[in-house]
Chains A and B, each alone.
Chain A
Amino acid sequence: MAAKDAKQTKLPLKVVQLEGQVVLKIAKHCRESDASLRDSEATVTGQLLGLDVGSTLEITDCFPYPGNAGEEEQEAVGEGESYQLEMMRCMREVNADNNTVGWYQSTISGSFQVVEIIETFVSYMESLDRCVCIVYDITAAAGGALGLKAIRLSEAFVEAYREGSLTIEKIRAKGLSWRDMFVEIPITVHNSTMAAALAAEIAPSSAATTLDCERLNLGVAPLLEKNLEYLNDCLDDLMVEQGKLSMHQNQLRRQQQAIAQFKMQRRQENMARRAAGEEPLSEEPPEGMFKPVAEPNQLDNMLLSNQMASYCQHINSATQQALSKLTLMEGLQNAF
């Protein structure tokens, strides 16, 4: 977390404080749409409202965006904006906090780490100094975990991103690595006294909750299968990216060879000219003869690495849990 501390000198953002009802609302929105769409690739999004207090970002309310907000049609964008404005106005009328502090979205494990999220972050950051994205992992939630994460982009990465294409040299010069792209901010959950009383009131009296049942579910195979599938896709994509990179290196090498050849020829020519008493020609190749080869952008590469790391982490935790559950089963079976 050293990167996080270094990135903001004025008031580092240390904690994201979520209101209990926000957690419930996000969970509801993400779960329901998942069930209705039956299309696990579709992500749902919504806006977070709250207050920026010192080093804490308090998120006190949120509202969902209508579906298909991701479609880049001009009309849809205009409508989405009017929806947002209307909703904020209505929220203000009932005295809810109406400062935008970020957005939330559903995700499947690490699949949120794509170019779009960076673009959204950068456009948010133009108007908002501090914004976070809360990601809700549907697969983790199905396995009985909470699956909530607050993330933002690291300052160093945003700086590099704004300067244009990410080349290897630039990444090295800045000491960036894919690990430093996203910064996770710890989440705390706050409830008003009344909400806490309400939760105690409606809490079930039974010993085992739904959460327990989901956690103790022995069937981890589908989850692992899914994660492995994504991991496979990532590896394929990464191979393509690496192919691009090695092609670029080949091109570069060929060009350098051509330049060296050109210089050699010139030198021989010049020797001949000198022997003939003529003015020697410049050894540098004329401009425009060798166009510089554009280096492929390393952004996708970094994002893929990030995704793979998330999938791996997810798999590690899932398998470890599965193994402990199996050990428990063994114990139970032996007791019979």
Chain B
Amino acid sequence: MAPTPLTLAVGPTENSVRVHPVVLFTITDAFLRRKEEQERVIGTLLGTIADGVVEVKNCYAVPHSESHDQVALDVQHHHTMAALQHRVNSREQIVGWFSTGDPDASRSRDALIHSFYGNECPNPVHLALDTSGQGGTMSVRAFVSCALSIGGRELAREFSEVDCEVRSTEAERVGVDLLSTELQEKLPGDMEGLADSFERLQQSLQQAQDYVDAVVAGKRKGNTAIGRYLAETVAAVPHFGREEFERMLTDQQNDCTLVLFLSKLIQAHLALADKLGTMQLPLL
């Protein structure tokens, strides 16, 4: 009988984790609001799993206490919150748990928590947000547990790190400036936002132009990859004949101006009705 080979079986693990920024902000807030004697906070992650990608969309903190090699988790709280969150969004399910602090420092206890979450969902993800500030960054890391087995017999499980990506589009939509300053006095207006975008667009164009000019003048060595990107970008701009473009432009402009006129007209009516105090639009 041939000896069974040693296998490091990797179960059906997810190969990457995508985190929405709201999760990280909630964790940070929970960390700041932790009890005095606590060193870290832990909690449950909610999200969806599709095509091997775990998308973490929501989370909530769970009260816990830990001593040297023991962890007590408020299971009641966890279940209540899970049920409540389920009522709001039934598509988000439990996908794992999070903790703050250095994930390598408390492995034995983490294993206990991880096995608990193993009962809540298949293949839980452990998300670790480094709040210590050491090394000058707040790193976000994700782990899954893999079984180490010999001959089909599971001997132990180990944490293995998986790719973790922060989906920043949501944060971008709200505005990075809004989130990265400690106190934003005034919310940006619509027109100011547009002006900002214009400026950034102009900067990008200027940068591209400077680069191309430098390469053409022979001051800089051209990079083919960048060149290809630039060519693709230029090719993506639809090309119109002068007349056609003029026509489209004026059409659009006329539409806009007409709608603007209409809306101003109604505003004038409303203002008149207000001044006359008749509660009736005068000319309608």
Chain A contacts of B81 at CB under 8 A? 90
Chain A 176-194 per-residue mask, 1 if CB under 8 angstroms from chain B, else 0? 0111000000111111111
Chain B contacts of A245 at CB under 8 A? 279-280
Residue of A nearest to B91 (CB): A36
Contact of B187 among A61, A189, A200, A224 (CB under 8 A): A189
Contact of B240 among A60, A140, A146, A333 (CB under 8 A): A333
* Residue A115 at the chain B interface, CB threshold 8 Å: no
The interface stretch among B9-17, B31-39, B115-123, B218-226 is: B31-39
- Are A83 and B87 in touch, CB under 8 angstroms? yes
Residue of B nearest to A150 (CB): B187
Using a CB-CB cutoff of 8 Å, which residues 56-90 of chain B contact chain A?
57-58, 60-63, 74, 77, 80-81, 84, 87-89
Chain B contacts of A255 at CB under 8 A? none
Chain A contacts of B252 at CB under 8 A? 322, 326
Cα A235 to Cα B280 with chains together (Å): 11
Contact of A21 among B29, B200, B245 (CB under 8 A): B29
- Are A203 and B180 in touch, CB under 8 angstroms? yes
- Are A207 and B204 in touch, CB under 8 angstroms? yes
Using known A-B contacts A24-B22, A93-B74, determine if residue A189 contacts B168 with beta carbons closer than 8 Å.
no
Chain A contacts of B29 at CB under 8 A? 19, 21, 60-61, 96, 192, 195
Q: Contact size class for B?
A: 35 or more
* Residue B249 at the chain A interface, CB threshold 8 Å: yes
Contact of A94 among B61, B91, B207, B239 (CB under 8 A): B61
Residue of B nearest to A231 (CB): B266
Using a CB-CB cutoff of 8 Å, which residues 202-220 of chain A contact chain B?
202-204, 207-212, 214-216, 220
- Are B21 and A202 in touch, CB under 8 angstroms? yes
- Are A202 and B166 in touch, CB under 8 angstroms? yes
- Are A186 and B186 in touch, CB under 8 angstroms? yes
Contact of A25 among B22, B41, B84 (CB under 8 A): B22
Cα A25 to Cα B85 with chains together (Å): 13
Contact of A146 among B43, B175, B245, B262 (CB under 8 A): B175
- Are B186 and A191 in touch, CB under 8 angstroms? no
- Are A145 and B190 in touch, CB under 8 angstroms? yes
Chain B contacts of A319 at CB under 8 A? 256-257, 259-260, 263
Using a CB-CB cutoff of 8 Å, which residues 203-254 of chain B contact chain A?
203-204, 207, 237, 239-240, 245, 249, 252-253
Chain B contacts of A156 at CB under 8 A? none
Chain A contacts of B33 at CB under 8 A? 94-96
B245 to chain A, nearest CB (A): 5
- Are A67 and B88 in touch, CB under 8 angstroms? yes
Residue of A nearest to B78 (CB): A90
Residue of B nearest to A149 (CB): B187
- Are A211 and B22 in touch, CB under 8 angstroms? no
* Residue A309 at the chain B interface, CB threshold 8 Å: yes
Using known A-B contacts A19-B29, A83-B87, A90-B80, determine if residue A204 contacts B257 with beta carbons closer than 8 Å.
no
* Residue B284 at the chain A interface, CB threshold 8 Å: yes
The interface stretch among B104-112, B143-151, B267-275 is: B267-275
- Are A221 and B263 in touch, CB under 8 angstroms? no
Residue of A nearest to B183 (CB): A190
Using known A-B contacts A20-B178, A201-B137, determine if residue A211 contacts B172 with beta carbons closer than 8 Å.
yes
Cα A64 to Cα B31 with chains together (Å): 21
* Residue B24 at the chain A interface, CB threshold 8 Å: yes
Chain B contacts of A336 at CB under 8 A? 237, 239
* Residue A154 at the chain B interface, CB threshold 8 Å: no
The interface stretch among A117-125, A267-275, A310-318 is: A310-318
Contact of B172 among A25, A210, A220, A328 (CB under 8 A): A210
| Residue of B30, B173, B200 with most partner-chain A CB within 10 A | B173
Chain A contacts of B41 at CB under 8 A? 94
- Are B182 and A191 in touch, CB under 8 angstroms? yes
Using a CB-CB cutoff of 8 Å, which residues 165-200 of chain B contact chain A?
166, 168-176, 178-188, 190-191, 193-194, 197-198, 200
* Residue A301 at the chain B interface, CB threshold 8 Å: yes
Chain A contacts of B18 at CB under 8 A? none
Chain A contacts of B74 at CB under 8 A? 93
* Residue B20 at the chain A interface, CB threshold 8 Å: yes
* Residue A114 at the chain B interface, CB threshold 8 Å: no
Chain B contacts of A144 at CB under 8 A? 173, 193-194, 197
Using known A-B contacts A146-B188, A242-B281, A309-B270, determine if residue A27 contacts B180 with beta carbons closer than 8 Å.
no
Chain A contacts of B279 at CB under 8 A? 168, 171, 242, 245, 298, 301
| Residue of B63, B84, B245 with most partner-chain A CB within 10 A | B84
Chain B contacts of A326 at CB under 8 A? 249, 252-253, 256
* Residue A233 at the chain B interface, CB threshold 8 Å: no
Cα A88 to Cα B185 with chains together (Å): 29
Chain A contacts of B89 at CB under 8 A? 32, 64
Contact of B197 among A94, A216, A322 (CB under 8 A): A216
Other A-B contacts than A145-B190, A194-B32, A336-B239, 12 sampled, CB-CB below 8 A, are: A21-B25, A21-B29, A64-B88, A66-B87, A90-B80, A145-B193, A192-B32, A195-B25, A203-B180, A208-B200, A324-B198, A333-B245
User: A residues bordering B, Cβ < 8 Å?
Assistant: 19-21, 23-25, 27-29, 31-32, 36, 60-61, 64-67, 83, 86-87, 90, 93-96, 140-141, 143-146, 148, 168, 171-172, 177-179, 186-204, 207-212, 214-216, 220-221, 224, 228, 231, 235, 238-239, 242, 245-246, 298, 301, 305, 308-309, 311-312, 315-317, 319-326, 328-330, 333, 336
- Name 8 A/B residue pairs within 8 A (Cβ), A-sorted: A144-B173, A202-B21, A202-B166, A210-B173, A228-B262, A231-B263, A315-B259, A316-B263
Q: Considering the complex of A and B, which 4 residue pairs feature the smallest CB-CB distances, nearest first?
A: A199-B180, A21-B25, A199-B179, A66-B87
